[in-house]
Amino acid sequence: MSRSGFVAVAGRPNVGKSTLVNAIVAHKVAIVSEKPQTTRRAIRGVATHLLEPDPWQLILTDLPGVQRPRDVLTERMQRRVQAEFDQADGVLFIVNGEQGVGGPGDRFIADALRDARLPVTVAVNKIDRLSRERTVVALQAAADLDVGEDIFPISARTGRGMPALVEHLVSLLPEGPFYFSPEEHSDLPQDVALAELVREQILKRTHQEVPHAAEVQVADIEDRGAVIAVRAAVLVESNSQKGILIGASGQMIKRIGIAARKEIERELGRRVHLDLSVRVRKSWRGDDSILDRLGIG
């Protein structure tokens, strides 16, 4: 009998949740950045193991970083986090061993997970950057959070400790049929997935308020035979942010477009023509109608 189920991936911003999900799924389903608040949607990554006698499908929900809401956008993100907890078979709580474990953010999440009353597995990530002594300290700090008995030292980047973690997560899944076909890696609509690839390049190349104020909406995807044409708009909240994104003589948006096109071509396996524009939508992070159209929340 096969096993299948959902594990919500929780943690502070920038602890490596998306890197871990991509590693387990063995496919890029979530964008990665060193900047906080990279993940705005709950993204499901699907890992499927077909070999008998123990076939399984592990569906990892990469959640926005758990945080206290500051605006309508982050309020929606946190409501989605809670909704995913309610539907999950277990939670994987990732902490950042390199930055230190057990601070106010980790304690805030640990308190929320106790209320969720789900099996919690703790992963101490980024141990590839720690000495043996610092790893021991981080593991003890994770245990002191008192939120789960199963604690795994891992490096999502190098794969260290990951097989044991995956084996444990699969053991939490109930028996049942697969939710997704074995060929599927994610539940993201194609337009959102491509928009995220563009936003990833914005995150890599901009600083200060721009990464947090930028969102991408794909307006059109057209198969023209020899090439796929993708038309997308980058939304920002001010003219100054628009100027930064466009850059002198349009050089910044050109660099973003070239890098994003390469990622989209890798994803689609086809030649791509990418048309990017930048538009000002003041206070879009507080506008429910825009957030609805963007599929956030």
Unique residue bearing structure tokens 């050089």: 251
Q: 194 and 111 in one domain? A: no
Q: 65 and 208 in one domain? A: no
Residue 105 lies in a domain: yes
pLDDT at residue 74 tops 90: no
| CA gap 9, 43 in Å, rounded | 10
pLDDT in tens, 135-176: 999 999 999 999 988 999 999 999 999 999 999 999 999 999
Q: 41 and 163 in one domain? A: yes
Which residues, other chains included, contact 248 with Cβ-Cβ below 8 Å and sequence gap of 6+?
none
Residue 215 belongs to domain spanning? 190-294
pLDDT at 239: 96
| CA gap 60, 20 in Å, rounded | 10
pLDDT at residue 76 tops 90: no
Q: 157 and 37 in one domain? A: yes
Q: 215 and 136 in one domain? A: no
SS3 call for 215: strand
What is the DSSP secondary-structure string of the chain?
--EEEEEEEEESTTSSHHHHHHHHHTS--S---SSSS---S-EEEEEEE--TT--EEEEEEEPPPP----SHHHHHHHHHHHHHHHH-SEEEEEEETTT-SSSHHHHHHHHHHHHHT--EEEEEE-GGGS-HHHHHHHHHHHHHT-S-SEEEE--TTT-TTHHHHHHHHHHTSPB---SS-TT--B---HHHHHHHHHHHHHHHH--TTHHHH-EEEEEEEEE-SS-EEEEEEEEESSHHHHHHHH-GGGHHHHHHHHHHHHHHHHHHTS-EEEEEEEEE-TTGGG-HHHHHHHT--
| CA gap 232, 197 in Å, rounded | 11
Residue ending a domain, among 144, 171, 198, is 171
Bridge partners for 292 per DSSP: none
Q: 167 and 250 in one domain? A: no
Q: 43 and 113 in one domain? A: yes
Q: 285 and 197 in one domain? A: yes
pLDDT at residue 274 tops 70: yes
Residue 181 lies in a domain: no
pLDDT in tens, 187-238: 889 999 999 999 999 999 998 889 889 999 999 999 999 999 999 999 999 9
How far is residue 243 from each of residues 236, 246, 277, measured CA to CA in Å?
10, 5, 12
Residue 202 lies in a domain: yes
Residue ending a domain, among 171, 199, 234, is 171
Residue spans of beta strands (DSSP E) within 206-257: 215-223, 228-236
Residue 14 lies in a domain: yes
| CA gap 41, 64 in Å, rounded | 6
Residue 48 lies in a domain: yes
pLDDT at 139: 96
Q: 166 and 20 in one domain? A: yes
pLDDT at 37: 66
Residue 32 lies in a domain: yes
Q: 247 and 142 in one domain? A: no
pLDDT at 146: 93
pLDDT at 42: 73
- CATH number for 141: 3.40.50.300
- 79-88, 233-242, 267-276: range with lowest mean pLDDT: 79-88
Confidence of residue 66 (pLDDT cuts 50, 70, 90): low
Mean pLDDT of 44-56: 94
- CATH number for 207: 3.30.300.20
pLDDT in tens, 237-257: 999 999 999 999 999 999 999
Q: Are 21 and 30 in contact (CB under 8 A)?
A: yes
Q: What's the number of domains the chain is made of?
A: 2
| CA gap 142, 36 in Å, rounded | 21
Residue ending a domain, among 171, 200, 216, is 171
Q: 147 and 24 in one domain? A: yes
Q: 260 and 132 in one domain? A: no
Residue 176 lies in a domain: no
pLDDT at 65: 62
More confident residue, 294 or 74: 294
Residue 24 lies in a domain: yes
pLDDT at residue 67 tops 60: no
